[in-house]
Structure 1
Amino acid sequence: MPTITRIANDFLSVDISSLGAEMQAATTRDGANWLWNGDAAFWTGRSPVLFPIVGKAPDDTLLVDGKPYTVAQHGFARRREFSLETASETACRYGLETSDETRALYPFAFRLTVDHSLDGPALTVAATVENRGETPMPFGLGFHPAFLWPLPGAEGRPHTILLDNGAEPLRQPLENGLLSQRRDPSPFAGGRLTLDHGLFADDALVFPENAGSGLTYAAEGGPALTFRFENLPNLALWTKPGAPFLCVEPWHGTAAEYGGARELKDRPYTTTLGAGEQARFAFTVTFPT
């Protein structure tokens, strides 16, 4: 059975499961939990870590040097039991390493660590990927945290996403879970998007470029969550229409393109590490005080 590790300070209490190193709750000192609760009526996820792919592969099949491997949407890390490596009052680290089971899905020797740490009202979630093999290792890495919509205490208020860079990034629509090769006009105006469930009628909003390194998710005249992204150039927003959550998803890597390359190394925004190399990816979310 998965175990839960709790980290806390005077502002926040955060619970993390050993299954997928997935955050289960993020509670401020007023008792409000800002994270989605995983209600199976809508979606059982809460904050999965996506590895070694983000999104889908055609027919759930990756090619690595021409050899097929079956990998489900968003990869296998979220379904694996991690080992608790370190823990203190305000931080913990979970790790996952290559096994016979992972090699059958992804033929590389890797180490993936996921750190959760608190600094005042800010939570940072960081993933570090290390290539422990002798050959170049391609992968995608993403985060998929789901926060309440409406935010606590903000029922009935309009909710918005405001990009720090004020941009209007083009949307790349999904076709059966794969990225279309076309770009659609941006739903942002001057970096601002007013959220509406109708926006998600055709799946997630995916912005492969120009969404920047930070944003604010807020209720007008109410609470706000601010985000900063490290080494995560792609952004997606997602919910199931009518569901009371919004996923703010920073990625490095996307789903395969419809009709595009099937090789893992050729997927959009794939990272490839040489032997012994590692890469870090992180987001920080700051909660109301």
Structure 2
Amino acid sequence: MPHTIRIENADLIVEVSTLGAEMQSLKTADGRNWLWNGDATWWTGRSPILFPIVGKAPGDMLAVNGTTYPMAQHGIARRREFTLVEQNTNACCHELASTSETRAVYPFDFRLTLEHRLDGRKLSVTATVENTGDTPLPFGIGFHPAFLWPLPGAENKLHAVTLDNGAEPGVVQLEDGLIGKTLPTSPFKAGRLELSHSLFDNDALIFPEGGGTALTYGAEGGPSLFFTFQNLPNIALWQKPGAPFLCIEPWHGMAAHAGGTAELVERPYTLALAAGDAMRFGFSVEIGR
């Protein structure tokens, strides 16, 4: 049965479930929780890991060399029990390894390790993917953390996302959850996006490239969260319209193209990891004072 691991330091307290190695809470020492609470009225997720796909597959079917397998949105890892392999006061590490059950829907051998680590007011989450088989391992990976909107103590304040690189990245439109056309204009202006619930009337905002490696999510004259990303070129923002959270999602991989193939290797930004190799991906979030 799933159980929860607690790590903490003088500034932060984090709880992580063994189910999906999913973070359950991110609290500052004053007791305020900055992470979405998973209220089923809106969305039961809190911070799922997305593997071996990000987004949807056509008809929820994934093809590998012409053979199709059932694959729900965002993959299999978030619904599986991880094993706790390491824990100390301010860090924990969970692992998911391939089994006959996973190979029935994703025919590869792998090990996925997820580490949560605290350093002052910063939480770092790192995923390591290892190819434990003898053939190339195709996959996508992403993070899907949801943070409160409004942030604690910032009710009735304007919230915005600001890219460190000042860019105005292109945004794609989803068509039944699949990647559609690129829209003619970016919602970012000089790297800044003022948030409103209407932005998400047509599902997530997905930026395939140009979002950079760092951003700030914060309230005008109020608290802010500072993010950095490692090896994650795609960024998405999502809210179930009207819900009191904002998902800030760094990815390496995206949904299949609308009207395109179900083949895993042809999904945008899919990686191919050689036998015996490993790759690391991660994000950090620091809570401003």
TM-score category, normalised to shorter length: over 0.9
Q: Letter of the aligned partner of 1:67 in structure 2?
A: T
Check whether the contact 1:178–1:255 (CA below 8 A) recurs between aligned residues.
yes
Give the Å deviation of 1:259: 1.5
Match in the other structure for 1:50: 50
For 2:286 and 2:221, how far apart are their aligned partners in 1? 17
Identical amino acids, percent of aligned pairs: 62
Q: Secondary structure at the match of 2:5?
A: strand
Q: List per-residue Cα deviations over 1:57-86 (Å, max 9, x = no partner).
A: 000111101110110000010000000000
Match in the other structure for 1:76: 76
Match in the other structure for 2:230: 230
For 1:282 and 1:183, how far apart are their aligned partners in 2? 28
Give the Å deviation of 1:261: 2.9
The yes-or-no answer on 1:221 pairing with 2:221 is yes
TM-score under structure 1 normalisation? 0.99
The yes-or-no answer on 1:31 pairing with 2:31 is yes
Check whether the contact 2:226–2:288 (CA below 8 A) recurs between aligned residues.
no
Q: List per-residue Cα deviations over 1:169-197 (Å, max 9, x = no partner).
A: 01101000001033431000000000000
Q: Letter of the aligned partner of 1:270 in structure 2?
A: T
Q: Letter of the aligned partner of 1:69 in structure 2?
A: Y
Q: List per-residue Cα deviations over 1:62-115 (Å, max 9, x = no partner).
A: 110111011000001000000000000000000000111100110000000000
Q: Letter of the aligned partner of 1:164 in structure 2?
A: D
Q: List per-residue Cα deviations over 1:35-75 (Å, max 9, x = no partner).
A: 00000000000000000000000001111011101100000
Check whether the contact 1:94–1:115 (CA below 8 A) recurs between aligned residues.
yes
Give the Å deviation of 1:152: 0.1
Match in the other structure for 2:21: 21
Check whether the contact 2:170–2:182 (CA below 8 A) recurs between aligned residues.
no
Match in the other structure for 1:6: 6
For 2:287 and 2:182, how far apart are their aligned partners in 1? 36
For 1:285 and 1:264, how far apart are their aligned partners in 2? 30
Q: Letter of the aligned partner of 2:97 in structure 1?
A: E
For 2:178 and 2:37, how far apart are their aligned partners in 1? 27
Q: List per-residue Cα deviations over 1:111-156 (Å, max 9, x = no partner).
A: 0000000011000000000011111110000000000000000000
Structure 2: 5+ residue stretches without partners: none
For 2:184 and 2:117, how far apart are their aligned partners in 1? 37
Give the root-mean-square deviation of aligned CA atoms.
0.7
Match in the other structure for 1:119: 119
Q: Secondary structure at the match of 2:222?
A: coil
Match in the other structure for 1:60: 60
Q: Secondary structure at the match of 2:172?
A: coil
The yes-or-no answer on 1:275 pairing with 2:282 is no
Q: Letter of the aligned partner of 2:78 in structure 1?
A: R
For 2:274 and 2:66, how far apart are their aligned partners in 1? 19
For 1:79 and 1:114, how far apart are their aligned partners in 2? 14
After the TM superposition, which of the residue ranges 261-270 and 89-98 deviates more from structure 2?
A: 261-270
Match in the other structure for 2:205: 205
Check whether the contact 1:216–1:225 (CA below 8 A) recurs between aligned residues.
yes
Q: Secondary structure at the match of 2:59?
A: helix
TM-score under structure 2 normalisation? 0.99
Structure 1: 5+ residue stretches without partners: none
Give the Å deviation of 1:288: 2.5
Match in the other structure for 2:240: 240
Check whether the contact 2:239–2:247 (CA below 8 A) recurs between aligned residues.
yes
Q: Letter of the aligned partner of 1:154 in structure 2?
A: A
